[in-house]
Structure formats: C-alpha cells, structure tokens
Amino acid sequence: MPNEQTKQLTFGAMMIALFSILLAVSFYVPILNLITSLFIAVPIAWYSAKFNRKASILVTVVSIIMSLFIGGLLAIPFAMIHALMGFTIGDAIRTKKSKLFMLLSTAGVLLVNIVMQYVIVVLTIGINPVKELLTIATDQYDQMGVFLERFNALPKDYDQTVADTLYMFETVMPSLFIISLFGFVFILVNILLPILKRLGLDVPKFPPFSQLRFPKSVLWYYIVVLVVTLFVELEQGTFAFMVFANAALILRVLLVLQGISFVQFFILEKGWPKWTLIVAIILAIPLQAITLIIGIFDLGFNIRSYVKDKNRK
C-alpha cells in the first residue's frame, strides 16, 4: 500500500510538471504553441487512466492551480479546459467506456466549462464576446458596402441582406457552437488516443465510419421540426424560432453525416477504387441536399441490407 501511494505521488508530480511545461510552451512560444496546445491534456489523461478517480481529481486540481504561477489569471481558463478534458478522457479509458461515450462526455465537460467561463466573463468584466463578434462582423460588412458603393456595385437590398444574415447567424450561433465543439473534441480525441496507446494504455476504438448508424429517432425529430417550420409561422426573435432553427441545423448535420456514411458503405461494398471514395466525400459537402436525402433514406429504410443482398447475388 505505501508503495502504491508513493507511485501515485511520484507519477502525479511528474504529470503535473509535464502539464505545466506544455502549458508554458503553449503560452509563451509562438508557432510551437500551435502544436503543444494539442497535447496539454495528455499528462492528465495518462494519470487518470492509470489511477483511481480521487487521486486523478487531486492531480487535475493541482495542475490547474499551477497554471496560475505560469500565466496568471489568464492561464486558468485555458488550463481548466485541457485539464478537465484530459481527466474525462483518462477516466473513460480506466473505466473501459466506449469511444462514443468518451467523445460525448468530453464534449459535455468542455461545453459546461466554456459556458461557465462565458457567464463569468459577462458578469465580472461586462464584456459579451458574442455581441463583440457581431459588432466586428457588422463593421466589416459596412466597410464592404462602402467599397462596393465606390464602384457602383452595391446591390439595392445589401443592407437588408446583411441584416438578415447577421440575424440568422446570431440565431443559430448556439448550434454552430455545439457542432464546432464536437468537431474539435472529435479531432482532439483522435490525436490523443494513439499517443496514449503508445504509452501502454488500452484505448477504445470507433467502429468504421461506413457502419455509422444514428438512432432512427433522429429522422423523426427532423420530420417534426420540418413540419413545424413549414406549417407553423414562427415569429423571428421568439424563443420558439431560435429553438427550431438550431434544432433543424443540428439534425440536418447529423443526417448529412448519415448520408456520407451510406455513400462510404456503398462504395466499399461495391469494391470500387479508393479514389472514388475520396471524391464522393469531397462532393458530399457541396451536394449536401442530395447527401441529406440519402441520409434520410438510410435511416428510414433498410437499404443497406438491400445493397448487401444485391451485391452478393
């Protein structure tokens, strides 16, 4: 028992030191910080995967406190993001959770973390980053309007188009934020897991993307949202309008991903060359309307079984 506690303390001190070094480099070394900032969570994840939750929480908290001595108060939010993500990833590895669970839990922790920091910034400093971003965007559009007016190329409805664009951007900003957050976590998890695997940890794996199958309820939710937006006049600026606009965007993204998955499944099942797979994935984004329809059919009907049976025959 004493040997185990000594091992925990020694390894924990090493991970705190490594976390602090990576954090310092990410704060003070230009260019190199673009690389090191992707690996700050590794020490915490490594420790959390090897030792119990109580010891891991202690190491995580101490690492965050150490950031205060490295970069002052500005370093604490940055350290909290990476330390808590590392703890969540390591804890999921230690408890043998699936990679999907790891992705969802890490994204959830990051979401709560960022929202809390956002609220603290608004309440303490009085600065609303969202409004500041919209103000900057408005100024950029105004400058573009002045530039176009000099060459007599300013459309008559330019101001109204800009106002509508900014309004829709502000409306769907929550869903854009959530989608971006999940994308960031997905990339980060896929960067960190191979490193943790080389460190001797048994990390989970995602099934092939071609086997991706969202719950059929996603399709039903999309149909409900589509019916409501088509037949119910939602007044702009209301809470209901914001909810349905964001829900429609998130569900649309999920169905497009489902469509891309089916396209990949179809190409692999047919045994076509790999370059066709790459071309299909690249074209899936500009042709997202068609990809969306494919995703709807893939969830609504068992067309994968039909493709398999026909291919075998």
| Each residue's pLDDT tens digit, 198-222 | 988 888 887 788 888 888 888 888 8
Q: Give this prediction's pTM.
A: 0.81
Q: In this model, does residue 84 exceed pLDDT 90?
A: yes
Q: Show the tokens assigned to 301.
A: 């009907």
pLDDT > 70? residue 153: no
Q: Place 312 in a pLDDT band, splitting at 50, 70 and 90.
A: low
Residue 44 is predicted with a pLDDT of 93
d(CA 24, CA 71): 7
* pLDDT for the residue numbered 2: 58
Give me the pLDDT at residue 72, please: 82
Q: How many CA atoms lie within 13 A of 204 on its CB side?
A: 19
Distance CA 88, CA 107 (A): 10
Q: What per-residue confidence (pLDDT) applies to 272?
A: 82
Least confident of 97-101, 169-173, 259-263: 169-173
Mean pLDDT of the chain: 84
Task: Indicate the helix (H) or strand (E) that contains 108.
Answer: helix 99-124
pLDDT band at residue 18 under the 50/70/90 scheme: very high
Per-residue pLDDT tens over the stretch 119-132: 887 788 777 777 77
The pLDDT of 171-181, averaged and rounded, is 85
Please give the helix or strand (H or E) that residue 19 lies within, else none: helix 2-28
pLDDT at 62 over 90: yes
Q: Which of 65-79, 149-163, 192-206, 279-293 is least confident?
A: 149-163
> What type of residue is 56?
S
Q: Rounded to whole angstroms, how far apart are CA atoms 212 and 279?
A: 19
In sequence order, what are the residues at sequence separation of 6 or more whose Cβ sits closer than 8 angstroms to the Cβ of residue 81? 110, 113, 114
Whether the CB-CB separation of 205 and 190 falls below 8 Å is answered with no
Give Rg (Cα) of the chain: 24
